[in-house]
Amino acid sequence: DTAVSQTPKYLVTQMGNDKSIKCEQNLGHDTMYWYKQDSKKFLKIMFSYNNKELIINETVPNRFSPKSPDKAHLNLHINSLELGDSAVYFCASSEGTGVTYEQYFGPGTRLTVT
């Protein structure tokens, strides 16, 4: 049973395109996150989403937008893709907000922009 799943696992696309990455968690968690891991392995939080409250990392371009159709899903939409968007994107979830709650990570989506 996969706790946090992401699709697709790999995504190769050209500059200027719009793409989406899907994330689903079957843990019944209330909070979900998106992280970006760059080529140097730095992991940065992009968004957290809890009960329709979205907290955005101020460094994230507005080309990135999370969409949550329900509590179990948090999809990531990216418009006008740029070369610098190439990275591995991780979805995560936790039972509640705050770092005392363990975050469970998905396997990641490797995005390559050419």
Under the binding rule (CB under 8 A), the answer on residue 40 touching another protein is yes
Q: Can you say how many angstroms the Cα of residue 64 is from the centroid of all Cα atoms in its chain?
A: 10
- Contact between 12 and another protein per CB under 8 A: no
User: Long-range contact list for 100-103, CB < 8 A, 24+ apart?
Assistant: 101/31, 103/33
Strand extents, DSSP E, the chain: 4-7, 10-13, 19-25, 31-37, 43-50, 53-56, 64-67, 75-78, 87-94, 104-105, 109-113
Residue 25 engages another protein in binding (rule: CB under 8 A): no
Kindly tell me which residue out of 20, 57, 79, 112 binds another protein, with binding defined by CB under 8 A: 57
Contact window for another protein (CB under 8 A) among 12-20, 65-73, 79-87, 99-107: 99-107
89 binds another protein (CB under 8 A): no
Instruction: Kindly state whether residue 4 participates in binding another protein, applying the rule CB under 8 A.
Output: yes
Binding-site ranges for another protein (CB under 8 A): 4, 31, 40-45, 48, 55, 57, 90, 92, 97-100, 102-108
